[in-house]
Chains A and B, each alone.
Chain A
Amino acid sequence: MTAVRITISILVASAALWVHSSPATAQVQCNPSDSYFTCSNRFANDVKNTLVDDTAATATEAVAAMNTGDNEESTTNDFLPLLRLLVNDNGAEDEGQKIGFEWAPHFSKTLPSKLTLSLQDSSLYAPLEKALDDAGLDDQGEMLGKQIDAGDDITLAFTISKASEKYGRDPEQQKRLLGALLGPADEDASVGLKEARKNLGTFSTKHADLIKQNTRFQDIADAALRAEYLALAQTQIGLEAENLKKFATKLDSLGFNGLLDLIDNQPQFTFALEFESRDESVGPDEGKATLAYEFGGRNVNTFRHYAHHDCADRVEGDELASEVACLTKYLSITETVAESFRVKIAAEYSKIQRFEFALSDPVFSHAEKPVEHLSFSVAASRQIGKTGSSGPRPRFDLKASYEDLSDDLVRQDRGIATATFSYPVSAGFFLTLGAVYATKPEFRGEVDDEISARLGLTYKLITEK
């Protein structure tokens, strides 16, 4: 009787495999030590790797196709939202920071804020090191340098921003539209997949006490049951993975990922207060307040204007439907001159506290007066050439800033303007030509003219994370 049941079950399983076999399903091979979960995710991983490869290649291509400008003009490089930058570990590592504590005390949905306490990599304060050298106390400087650790430079920062559908780069503010794109992307499953689900579902519910979420195929003692479960699971896994891949492709073609890019260009106000407490050998304490407004010319707001007023496919009286219908079209349109600009306006006030350092044996002292610093800057960048062209695009960066350092008569009212043109010469390499104008050129190094030019090569290192 048992033998007959085994034979029938294997025949049923084989029939199920034969009925639903397809190029995708044929590749699914679960191991006896797998559970449904591990097998499906290993297979989804293989599928994912294909997607990852595609996505990574696309992303690398996209970055390579982007001229991110002269490194000195980091203000307009990519407009990473400050709030996001603070939670981004990679970004923090790039700056030699280690985040120790982070808290997001949102006062309201429209005023997201963040409080961070970070430990900064630190070294001996350079002017102090020089003063020690000048006094013939190099060994003292070396000893002090060795005593410095991560806790000697602590920064406490509070950042607040404005968030709404029109301001801020938090995708939460655009969930209405992001969610609306899922509907058209989520097409009905194929009849084959529905039948595979029905077959596996009927089997799994019938044997629900035996088959749990983490049950491995080899844990099912009955060989016929195990074979039937394995066959049904493999068939369904293959079809599910195929269906999910189709969903991912459709979602992308509807502009889901493009919309995330537009969100990154939204206008953004940020106000940040920062206090950096340093050990006496690392440097003076410093307080800083920054107010910034930045935007990319092509963003969700400009898209909405297009979808509601200019798009031929818009749905009268239904703004959301118009946005869903017009997103792909907007993303495919060549940007206007205004849309190709990215702008940042910022004001910063900082105060470096009085610095005092003294040694009793040998007798040595070094002191610096407190310094107040006020600056205003406007930076703009523009990619030129055709959008969507396969190669990187040339780019212009312009920045003008005004600085005022109190207690320093010479440095007061200092103005600097820079213009940089970056031209792609080969993959990752850019030729940069820059002009710098300064009202007080003596603070720009070894130059004595008000205007100077520079020429250089920039190499952009793209890391895959």
Chain B
Amino acid sequence: MATIEMQQVAFNVAKPNSVLKFEIKQKTGFVATAKLDMDIDTVAKWKSEEIAGKVVEETLVPVGLYTLEIKIVGINKAPIDIDVDVTLVPSGKAAQVQPMNFKKKKGGDICQAIAFVSIA
């Protein structure tokens, strides 16, 4: 039985040159894709093998609203928990971490994690 779950977080407005990081903590049991939009234009895309179990970093320079969208699809029959950490390191300030957790996902289940960052 396929399920859909979406989660969303927002960071405080930050200055240009802030760094956005994200990590899907588990390495197995899913495939994923991610993209980063600035306002309504897509500025970066990642394939499954580039993000599963890895920390991905992107420096946000131009001013605008950035939307990070991560789609995760389960592939195993045995359910697994999937943890996504999104971190913003504002220019010259301490890092802020926003975790999102998707519980008991199995083959065909779809999860979407969204993070908003405003650079002004």
A residues lining the B interface (CB < 8 Å): 36-37, 40-41, 44, 47-48, 51-52, 55-56, 59, 84, 87-88, 171-172, 175-176, 178-183, 186, 188-189, 191, 194-195, 197-198, 200-202, 204-206, 208-209, 211, 213, 240-241, 244-245, 247-248, 251, 256-257, 260
B91 within 8 A of A: no
Q: Which of A198, A206, A241, A260 is in CB contact (< 8 Å) with B39?
A: A198
The minimal Cβ–Cβ distance linking B48 to chain A, given in whole angstroms, is 3
CB atoms of B65 and A198 under 8 A apart: yes
Interface class of chain B by DSSP: strand
B3 within 8 A of A: yes
CB atoms of A248 and B4 under 8 A apart: yes
Interface class of chain A by DSSP: helix
Residues of B within 8 Å of A56, CB to CB, are 1
Residues of A within 8 Å of B48, CB to CB, are 175, 178-180, 182
Q: Which of B7, B10, B110 is in CB contact (< 8 Å) with A211?
A: B10
Residues of B within 8 Å of A247, CB to CB, are 71, 110
Q: List 16 A-B contacts (CB under 8 A).
A: A41-B6, A55-B1, A59-B1, A87-B78, A88-B78, A171-B75, A179-B31, A179-B33, A189-B69, A194-B67, A205-B11, A205-B13, A205-B118, A208-B11, A213-B9, A241-B6
Interface residue tally on B, bucketed by range: 35 or more
CB atoms of B6 and A178 under 8 A apart: no
Residues of A within 8 Å of B40, CB to CB, are 191, 194-195, 198
Bound CA–CA A186/B69 (angstroms) = 11
Q: A182-B73, A205-B65 are in contact. Are A244 and B10 (CB under 8 A)?
A: no
Not counting A36-B8, A172-B75, A180-B48, a sample of 15 additional A-B residue pairs whose C-beta atoms are within 8 angstroms of each other reads: A37-B7, A48-B4, A88-B78, A178-B31, A179-B47, A183-B33, A194-B40, A194-B67, A197-B37, A197-B116, A198-B39, A201-B10, A201-B65, A205-B65, A209-B12
The minimal Cβ–Cβ distance linking A107 to chain B, given in whole angstroms, is 16
Give the 5 A-B CB pairs with smallest separation, nearest first.
A179-B48, A204-B10, A201-B116, A205-B118, A194-B40
The minimal Cβ–Cβ distance linking B7 to chain A, given in whole angstroms, is 6
B107 within 8 A of A: yes
CB atoms of B117 and A48 under 8 A apart: no
B2 within 8 A of A: yes
